Structure 1
């Protein structure tokens, strides 16, 4: 078992090529959150049902799956298309991105999510931005465990389809698989934990709404789940190798 954590250097993280990666993460996260959060807002506006009614849950899950497929695809050749601090964290544990790069990825992703929610507020006549929160009847501990499990599934899929050096030429399969697992996990976990899997996806709505109810759940759960996936797949199933950023692997 071999993990490959690489801190890198600040100088390398601030090179022009690195800055382009951060811009790509910002844009992709912005587009993903705008479509994902916007789908829940649109369903609430067009129907009398809540977004987590059966039809609303399906619509939101499909919107997130499609949006993530596209946003991972458009950033894959530039930044690796993480679009998620939990993915970045899990990949850092396997040496696919340096810690310094990872910190700037997080900043770009959180900014992208925040700007997306501000744009939604601006373009919907000031409608409320829905936040993630644990459902009534579900304890915070249960919510954390559910977020751990579904984020583990997401980051494990990222490793298997995009980060494993033995994957071969999977091309468009990786973004499709990543989008599908997110859509499926939202269908399974949405009525319980909210089905976030992504601290950035939860951060933007919480900041713009300034409603931090249960917010810690969407950092602890996804980061633990993503980290475990990095340890299991990156540390057990991938043979030791030199540090290679995921952007060169996609």
Structure 2
């Protein structure tokens, strides 16, 4: 098998809401995390979630380590809907974050199947990624890959997901030197973009090099079509030392759905 190129790279930094609306921010804060992605309709997830609950009830996590669940790929016509009821029935004891309807977090973390686990060190770097159902030994092996502590990376601390309406507030009341960064294609940009945005095409071969030419010391508002490309852009920005980046959850689709304006000039 080919080595996972994500290992050692900065994990996406994000914020989100739980089923009850409680906000949670996941960033490089010294806490190591096992982040599990679960779909309520997935048979493997239906076994993995209670298995993880059993382990957490019977064992103590190492100091400085926590487990976080991401509820994603919601289907109203599928079993165990709504997922909030499923997690409640299984007595999930840890943090849950609800992914966007576009699956921005699954895209940002490179999900390849369900369930999907990402082990993140305390310094915010990816330690391991695993797709598929884990037995107890597999879960404990994954747990052994993470190292808590480490320097908190200021570059990651200010990278966050924001709603379209929050993004509009940033645009309307911009901090000094705000850059609005569109990472879609030129064709998408010409069809409609946020006023004042600059374009850096995610699909350009030298995309990362173009990002490196931008000023890391000013604030950014980043978006794409649905949140997928921007979600993959923010870890690159973090690795380059950008310390104030707001990523619009759901992209320009969410923006226009909220009735917010775009320009075509």
Which interval holds the TM-score relative to the shorter structure?
under 0.3
Structure of higher RCO (CA pairs closer than 8 Å, 6+ residues apart): 1
- TM-score normalised according to structure 2 size: 0.25
- TM-score normalised according to structure 1 size: 0.26
Larger helix share, 1 or 2: 1
